[in-house]
Amino acid sequence: FNIHNHHCIRKYENGTLQENFFYIHDGTNEVNVLDVKRSFAVFHNFISEEEETNLTNEIEPHVKRLKYEFNHWDDAIHGYRETEKSKWSTKCFPILERVKKISFEDSENLIPHVHILDLSPDGVIKPHIDSIRFCGDTISGLCLLSDAVMRLVKDQENNQVVDVLLPRRALYIMKDDSRYKYTHEILGKESSYFGSLFIKRERRVSVIIRNPP
Ligand code: OGA
Ligand code: MN
Protein backbone atom coordinates (compact mmCIF):
# COMPACT_ATOMS: atom_id res chain seq x y z
CA PHE A 1 0.00 0.00 0.00
CA ASN A 2 1.45 3.31 -1.09
CA ILE A 3 -0.09 6.36 0.53
CA HIS A 4 0.54 8.45 -2.57
CA ASN A 5 -1.63 6.08 -4.59
CA HIS A 6 -4.53 6.26 -2.20
CA HIS A 7 -7.54 6.98 -4.37
CA CYS A 8 -8.80 9.68 -2.02
CA ILE A 9 -5.50 11.50 -2.19
CA ARG A 10 -5.31 11.39 -5.97
CA LYS A 11 -8.88 12.64 -6.20
CA TYR A 12 -8.21 15.49 -3.83
CA GLU A 13 -8.36 18.81 -5.65
CA ASN A 14 -8.14 21.56 -3.06
CA GLY A 15 -4.80 21.13 -1.36
CA THR A 16 -1.69 19.84 -3.00
CA LEU A 17 0.19 16.77 -1.94
CA GLN A 18 3.70 17.85 -1.05
CA GLU A 19 6.53 15.46 -1.80
CA ASN A 20 9.34 17.89 -0.99
CA PHE A 21 8.58 18.56 2.61
CA PHE A 22 11.15 16.06 3.83
CA TYR A 23 14.64 16.88 5.01
CA ILE A 24 16.81 13.76 5.03
CA HIS A 25 19.66 13.74 7.54
CA ASP A 26 23.06 12.54 6.31
CA GLY A 27 23.54 8.83 6.72
CA THR A 28 19.87 7.93 6.38
CA ASN A 29 19.50 4.95 4.06
CA GLU A 30 17.58 5.29 0.83
CA VAL A 31 15.35 2.35 1.79
CA ASN A 32 14.30 4.10 4.99
CA VAL A 33 13.68 7.36 3.11
CA LEU A 34 11.36 5.51 0.74
CA ASP A 35 9.58 3.79 3.64
CA VAL A 36 8.92 7.17 5.25
CA LYS A 37 7.89 8.89 2.03
CA ARG A 38 5.31 6.30 1.17
CA SER A 39 3.81 6.25 4.64
CA PHE A 40 3.76 9.95 5.47
CA ALA A 41 1.87 12.60 3.50
CA VAL A 42 1.66 16.36 3.97
CA PHE A 43 -0.99 18.55 2.39
CA HIS A 44 -0.02 22.16 2.21
CA ASN A 45 -2.91 24.61 2.83
CA PHE A 46 -5.38 21.85 3.48
CA ILE A 47 -7.62 24.44 5.13
CA SER A 48 -8.15 28.12 4.36
CA GLU A 49 -7.37 30.97 6.76
CA GLU A 50 -11.09 31.31 7.41
CA GLU A 51 -11.44 27.63 8.25
CA GLU A 52 -8.44 27.90 10.57
CA THR A 53 -10.12 30.82 12.36
CA ASN A 54 -13.40 28.91 12.66
CA LEU A 55 -11.64 25.90 14.15
CA THR A 56 -9.56 27.98 16.57
CA ASN A 57 -12.61 29.96 17.71
CA GLU A 58 -14.45 26.73 18.38
CA ILE A 59 -11.50 25.17 20.24
CA GLU A 60 -10.56 28.23 22.31
CA PRO A 61 -13.37 28.04 24.93
CA HIS A 62 -12.42 24.40 25.64
CA VAL A 63 -8.75 25.09 26.35
CA LYS A 64 -8.58 28.63 27.64
CA ARG A 65 -9.22 27.74 31.27
CA LEU A 66 -6.63 24.96 31.26
CA LYS A 67 -3.04 25.61 32.32
CA TYR A 68 -0.11 24.59 30.16
CA GLU A 69 1.55 21.62 31.87
CA PHE A 70 5.31 21.59 32.26
CA ASN A 71 5.35 19.34 35.30
CA HIS A 72 6.55 15.83 34.66
CA TRP A 73 10.09 15.41 33.40
CA ASP A 74 9.31 11.94 32.04
CA ASP A 75 6.23 12.99 30.07
CA ALA A 76 6.40 12.82 26.28
CA ILE A 77 4.94 16.30 25.96
CA HIS A 78 5.98 19.49 27.74
CA GLY A 79 4.17 22.82 27.78
CA TYR A 80 0.82 21.62 26.57
CA ARG A 81 -2.83 21.57 27.37
CA GLU A 82 -5.22 19.19 25.72
CA THR A 83 -8.84 18.20 25.38
CA GLU A 84 -11.08 15.91 23.40
CA LYS A 85 -14.00 16.98 21.29
CA SER A 86 -16.63 14.92 19.53
CA LYS A 87 -19.32 17.45 18.59
CA TRP A 88 -18.59 20.19 16.09
CA SER A 89 -20.54 23.15 14.79
CA THR A 90 -21.98 23.09 11.27
CA LYS A 91 -19.09 25.38 10.26
CA CYS A 92 -16.36 23.01 11.41
CA PHE A 93 -18.00 19.61 10.92
CA PRO A 94 -17.36 19.56 7.14
CA ILE A 95 -13.66 20.29 7.68
CA LEU A 96 -13.32 17.29 9.97
CA GLU A 97 -15.23 15.17 7.47
CA ARG A 98 -12.76 16.17 4.75
CA VAL A 99 -9.87 15.19 7.00
CA LYS A 100 -11.45 11.81 7.75
CA LYS A 101 -12.25 11.00 4.12
CA ILE A 102 -8.76 11.73 2.87
CA SER A 103 -6.88 10.14 5.77
CA PHE A 104 -8.54 6.82 6.46
CA GLU A 105 -9.42 3.86 4.31
CA ASP A 106 -12.43 3.30 6.53
CA SER A 107 -13.50 6.78 7.63
CA GLU A 108 -16.54 5.34 9.42
CA ASN A 109 -14.42 3.40 11.90
CA LEU A 110 -12.55 6.04 13.89
CA ILE A 111 -11.95 6.94 17.49
CA PRO A 112 -15.04 9.13 18.02
CA HIS A 113 -13.43 12.03 19.82
CA VAL A 114 -10.93 14.27 18.13
CA HIS A 115 -7.78 15.00 20.16
CA ILE A 116 -6.89 18.67 20.53
CA LEU A 117 -3.30 19.36 21.55
CA ASP A 118 -2.36 22.94 22.32
CA LEU A 119 1.41 23.41 22.54
CA SER A 120 2.72 26.63 24.07
CA PRO A 121 5.49 28.55 22.25
CA ASP A 122 7.91 26.92 24.71
CA GLY A 123 6.29 23.52 24.36
CA VAL A 124 7.89 20.42 22.88
CA ILE A 125 6.74 16.93 21.97
CA LYS A 126 9.55 14.51 22.75
CA PRO A 127 10.19 11.35 20.67
CA HIS A 128 7.52 8.71 21.13
CA ILE A 129 5.42 6.16 19.29
CA ASP A 130 1.67 6.40 19.90
CA SER A 131 0.42 3.47 21.93
CA ILE A 132 -0.44 0.48 19.77
CA ARG A 133 -2.98 -0.54 22.40
CA PHE A 134 -5.09 2.57 22.00
CA CYS A 135 -4.57 3.68 18.45
CA GLY A 136 -4.56 2.04 15.02
CA ASP A 137 -2.38 2.28 11.92
CA THR A 138 -3.16 5.87 10.91
CA ILE A 139 -2.75 9.22 12.66
CA SER A 140 -4.02 12.33 10.96
CA GLY A 141 -3.21 15.83 12.18
CA LEU A 142 -4.32 19.32 11.21
CA CYS A 143 -1.77 21.99 12.12
CA LEU A 144 -3.12 25.32 13.34
CA LEU A 145 -1.52 28.66 14.29
CA SER A 146 2.17 27.82 13.82
CA ASP A 147 4.62 26.16 11.47
CA ALA A 148 6.59 23.34 13.04
CA VAL A 149 9.13 20.64 12.29
CA MET A 150 8.30 17.01 13.02
CA ARG A 151 11.28 14.69 13.34
CA LEU A 152 10.98 10.99 12.54
CA VAL A 153 13.73 8.76 13.96
CA LYS A 154 13.89 5.05 13.29
CA ASP A 155 13.20 3.10 16.45
CA GLN A 156 16.41 1.44 17.75
CA GLU A 157 18.43 2.99 14.90
CA ASN A 158 18.68 6.61 15.82
CA ASN A 159 21.01 7.74 13.02
CA GLN A 160 18.12 7.25 10.55
CA VAL A 161 16.38 10.61 10.64
CA VAL A 162 13.86 12.39 8.42
CA ASP A 163 12.46 15.82 9.28
CA VAL A 164 9.07 16.88 8.00
CA LEU A 165 8.04 20.50 7.57
CA LEU A 166 4.51 21.02 8.86
CA PRO A 167 3.35 24.46 7.81
CA ARG A 168 0.46 26.16 9.53
CA ARG A 169 -2.85 24.97 8.00
CA ALA A 170 -1.27 21.78 6.68
CA LEU A 171 -2.67 18.29 7.17
CA TYR A 172 -0.32 15.37 7.73
CA ILE A 173 -1.11 11.69 7.58
CA MET A 174 1.24 9.30 9.34
CA LYS A 175 0.64 5.61 8.88
CA ASP A 176 2.21 2.14 8.69
CA ASP A 177 6.04 2.39 8.84
CA SER A 178 6.11 6.05 9.88
CA ARG A 179 3.61 5.33 12.60
CA TYR A 180 5.06 2.06 13.94
CA LYS A 181 8.79 1.99 13.09
CA TYR A 182 9.72 5.61 13.76
CA THR A 183 9.38 7.82 16.78
CA HIS A 184 7.91 11.25 16.06
CA GLU A 185 8.53 14.51 17.87
CA ILE A 186 7.85 18.22 17.42
CA LEU A 187 11.03 20.25 17.77
CA GLY A 188 11.14 22.93 20.46
CA LYS A 189 11.68 26.58 19.64
CA GLU A 190 15.47 26.51 20.03
CA SER A 191 16.03 23.54 17.74
CA SER A 192 13.26 24.23 15.25
CA TYR A 193 15.26 23.99 12.04
CA PHE A 194 14.29 22.44 8.72
CA GLY A 195 17.74 21.87 7.26
CA SER A 196 19.38 25.28 7.74
CA LEU A 197 16.04 27.09 7.69
CA PHE A 198 14.85 28.33 11.07
CA ILE A 199 11.14 27.61 11.56
CA LYS A 200 9.66 29.95 14.14
CA ARG A 201 7.63 28.04 16.71
CA GLU A 202 4.65 29.89 18.11
CA ARG A 203 1.66 28.55 19.96
CA ARG A 204 0.57 25.52 17.94
CA VAL A 205 -2.73 23.72 18.10
CA SER A 206 -3.07 20.33 16.46
CA VAL A 207 -6.34 18.55 15.76
CA ILE A 208 -5.61 14.84 15.67
CA ILE A 209 -7.84 12.03 14.47
CA ARG A 210 -6.94 8.38 15.03
CA ASN A 211 -8.44 5.02 14.18
CA PRO A 212 -8.82 2.20 16.70
CA PRO A 213 -6.28 -0.67 16.80
C1 OGA B 1 0.61 13.15 19.94
C2 OGA B 1 1.42 13.77 18.88
C3 OGA B 1 1.61 15.45 17.16
C4 OGA B 1 1.05 16.77 16.80
O5 OGA B 1 -0.25 13.84 20.52
O6 OGA B 1 0.81 11.96 20.21
O7 OGA B 1 2.38 13.18 18.48
O8 OGA B 1 1.05 17.08 15.59
N9 OGA B 1 1.03 14.94 18.35
O10 OGA B 1 0.61 17.49 17.68
MN1 MN C 1 2.14 11.05 18.82
Which domains occur in the chain, in start order? 20-210 (2.60.120.590)
Residue 46: name the closest of 106, 96, 6 by CA: 96
Mutate to test the pocket of ligand 1, among 114, 206, 210 (most ligand atoms within 8 A of CB): 206
For helices 49-63 and 93-103, give the axis angle rounded to 10 degrees.
110
Q: How many helices (H) and strands (E) does the chain have?
A: 5, 13
Predicted pLDDT at 44: 86
Residue type, 94: P
The set of protein residues with a Cβ atom below 6 angstroms from ligand 1 is 117, 125, 130, 141, 184, 186, 206, 208
What tens digit of pLDDT does each residue of 133-150 get? 999 999 999 999 999 999
Q: 174 φ, ψ to 5°?
A: -115, 125
Q: Reply yes or no on whether the pLDDT at 14 is more than 60.
A: no
Among 151, 173, 182, 210, which residue's Cα sits nearest to residue 1?
A: 173
Residue nearest to atom 4 of ligand 1 (CA): 206
Would you state the pLDDT for residue 9? 37
pTM of the model: 0.92
Query: Does 176 have pLDDT greater than 80?
Result: yes
